[in-house]
Chain A
Amino acid sequence: MDLHFGDELKQLQEEVRRLLTERVSANLLRRLISEDEGYDPALWRTAAELGLLGAAVPEQYGGSGLGERAVCAIAEEMGRAVAPLPFFSSICLAAEAIKLAGAPAQKSAWLPRLASGEAIGTFAWQEGLGPPETDVDARFENGRISGVKSPVPDALLADVAVVVCEGPRLALADLSKGVRREPLRGFDQLRSHAKLVFENTPAEAMDVPDPKDALRRLYDRAAIYAAFEQLGAAESAMFMARDYTLQRYTFGRQLASYQAVKHNLANILVMVELARSNALYAAAALEADAPDLGAAAATARLAATRAYETAARENLQLHGGVGFTWEADCHFHYRRARLLALSLGSPAIWENRLIEALTKKNAAAA
């Protein structure tokens, strides 16, 4: 399998990196937190104009049809910049869910609007505490949803949601109609979350013969996109720590010259390189719809979660006391790493998914 991102994708990725470097400053992020703003609408419009939102949306639905690897490349840059955009919710979750499970009319209605940035989508699965996919109480009957989904990412901004209901059944809800949104105070201050309260809210059934299978596939895809987001972010936190230790002097030496510091960063580099290798494999498996996609997705997610969580923690540690201050900006990664580690299910859940997949493969081979 060819793991290499071709020149076209590399170029796209460079463009996104340039754009986000220029437009997403630490000042902007701190201001968004202080003003309790969930995202940067002007940057969202620019991203849409550059075609970043429709990368994996087929051309017939207004996308550019560049493919899933393009979304991976963009997600990596979103992670690197901690970009204040609902990219993951709208593109990696909602658009993917509609692609996987939407009826033709639903695809025609929503994919072009998501690809153009005119509408923002989200995916509502979680209901309070506990692992995803279990104990779903929201009901979808006679074209109406009743129940509470929480936390839902970017739910304050979203125009449409794919909602997981008891069964499981998948419903598509236009959020302009009869939904109450209650903002949540979340650990990550840069991605807003809310509670969606459906009270006999009209919604459409999605068109999928096996919703359970569709959900599994959606989680696999989302896990791979998230792995790229985590990968970019991990690398960013690692370089942030490296750069700080290079410019800080203690006892007459650069902090970066101490072996304890070098070995700490070398260990993180190893995690980042393993994560990159596994993410690239998963991206290739995704585009090829390979039979081992489930295991590949879990592998990529576990590797990337470990790399990002470690890089985010050690970045703060290596900044010393300064790292604990608001202005040092270590907190963006320190909080974001936890969000990305848990939002699609914790490492323990993915370890189980992985072991189940491998056991099945072993049994099949025996």
Chain B
Amino acid sequence: MHQTAPPARIDESAFRREVRAWLADNAAEYREARAWPEAELVARSLAWQKRKAEAGFGLITEPPGLGGRDGTAAMASIFAEEEARYHTPTFTGLGIAFGMALPTIRKHGAPEQYRRFAEPTIKGEAAWCQLFSEPSAGSDLAGLRTRAVRDGERWIVNGQKVWSSWAHHARFGILLARTDPTVVKHQGLTFFVLDMRTPGIEVRPIRQISGKSDFNETFLTDVVIPDANRIGAEGEGWACAMTVLMNERHGASERASVSHDSVENLLRAALAAGRLDSSSVRSKLAQWWVEEQGLKNFGLRIRAALERGETPPPAVAMMKLVSATKMQQTNAFLMDLGEYGGLFSEPDRPEQEQVFFQYIWSSAMMIAGGADEILRNQLAERVLGMPSEPRMDKVPFNELPGIKSS
């Protein structure tokens, strides 16, 4: 599917110049970081995506009809690097779209399905949400209970999802549901695209420790999904979910190089606070730099492997492991530098709000998309070939303790 001729070698410096010129003309208003109210952020994000698509930067590796330009992965990276010099608007609903939904539909779905969902997404008409976790299925995602029952050429879905980021702004959701409870739990799942405008969907915000409500509970009552929105075969949902999670873990570690907690900025902050002479401060900064560069260089290796046509190694799970912990430590450090006063944001130090937010957010990063403990299991099992955890769930789903009685 989607076979294309090997990309011709492009003149990267010429492409970079073109990108820079286009950004200078089109992204001027985003030179400085700004915070928008939620609804405006969503509107601006979609509008910016549309603008990129019209210029062939919507998803560079796609053909012009889909808002791209048949470009290479290297070109996409160049565009991303250049765009990172600006503070262009983007919200999680687009991150899920491009980082998780489209790659999974492309890999497991039919070409017609990919085109149907990719086009409005790349053209800035649709954001996405992820409907995977449930109140009783987090790290043990395959234990989810939301049921999809076939009814001719459609499916009837009932259940409850949680942690569905930005579901209230999403046009589509990627949904994992149980279609066969009589087989072992991983085998009874199927992957769907849910049109969020379908009747029977109720999205309720969850109040988070950050004070915001990025996440929701989503209740599904007799929701109808056409079979044409089933991605992959019936029972193939787990493989699809794995593709999503692998992309989520990879994507979660890719952060803008200009972020306030980059080591270069930490160094400036330590210098300004008169703490750069401290050997313990130097030691910490050096360690975070080693991690920051290690992740960047690991990313280069992964990108090069993809360009050579290899699949990314399962070790990509380590990227989120390292970056989330580092995010927590570095933002704690930015508070430490101010001692007691570092816990307060004053009008002359508004950036401290960002420090508070990232410190809080890091705790979510260490859980979302595979908790650190789960990732360590995976690294040990898939990369080092160590034994799986002892399991008690190799029986049909409906015979599991806790399910059987309910």
Contact = CB atoms under 8 A, between A and B. Distances in A.
Chain A bound to chain B = yes
Interface of A: 1-4, 238, 242, 245-246, 253-254, 256-257, 259, 261-263, 265-267, 269-270, 273-275, 277-278, 280-281, 298-299, 302-303, 306, 347-348, 350-352, 354-355, 358-359, 361-362
A269 B384 contact: yes
A355 B286 contact: yes
A226 to B, nearest CB: 15
B286 A351 contact: yes
Contacts of A298: 286
B176 interface: no
A306 B297 CA distance: 17
A320 to B, nearest CB: 17
A350 B294 CA distance: 16
Contacts of A253: 390
Contacts of A280: 297, 301
Chain B contact residues, majority secondary structure = helix
B376 interface: yes
Contacts of B296: 277
B301 to A, nearest CB: 6
Contacts of B377: 259, 262-263, 266
Nearest to A279: B297
Contacts of A238: 384
15 contacts: A3-B301, A242-B385, A242-B386, A257-B386, A263-B376, A265-B380, A266-B384, A269-B384, A270-B379, A277-B298, A277-B301, A299-B290, A302-B290, A350-B286, A362-B267
A274 B380 contact: no
Contacts of A259: 373, 377, 389
Contact of A270 (B271, B308, B321): B321
Question: For the side of the interface on B, what is the size category?
Answer: 35 or more
A25 B123 CA distance: 62
Nearest to B373: A263
A3 B322 contact: no
Q: Kindly name the residue among A246, A256, A267, A273 whose own CB sees the greatest number of chain B CB atoms within 10 A.
A: A273
Contact of A278 (B297, B321, B376, B379): B297
Nearest to B283: A351
A284 to B, nearest CB: 9
Given A275-B294, A351-B279, 17 more contacts: A3-B297, A3-B304, A257-B389, A257-B390, A263-B377, A265-B386, A269-B379, A273-B298, A277-B297, A299-B294, A303-B294, A306-B287, A350-B286, A352-B282, A359-B267, A362-B264, A362-B271
B293 A359 contact: no
Q: Kindly name the residue among B264, B290, B322 whose own CB sees the greatest number of chain A CB atoms within 10 A.
A: B290
A273 B290 CA distance: 12
B268 interface: yes
Contacts of B381: 262
B372 to A, nearest CB: 9
A276 to B, nearest CB: 8
Given A242-B384, A355-B267, A362-B268, A277 B376 contact: no
Interface in B262-320: 263-264, 267-268, 271, 276, 279, 282-283, 285-287, 289-291, 293-298, 300-301, 304, 308, 315, 318
Contacts of B295: 274, 277
B387 interface: yes
| Chain A to chain B: the 8 pairs with minimum beta-carbon distance, closest first | A274-B294, A262-B380, A277-B297, A351-B286, A266-B376, A266-B379, A257-B387, A277-B298
B89 to A, nearest CB: 26
A254 B264 contact: no
A245 B384 CA distance: 12
A299 B296 CA distance: 12
A278 B380 CA distance: 22
B383 interface: yes
Contacts of B308: 4
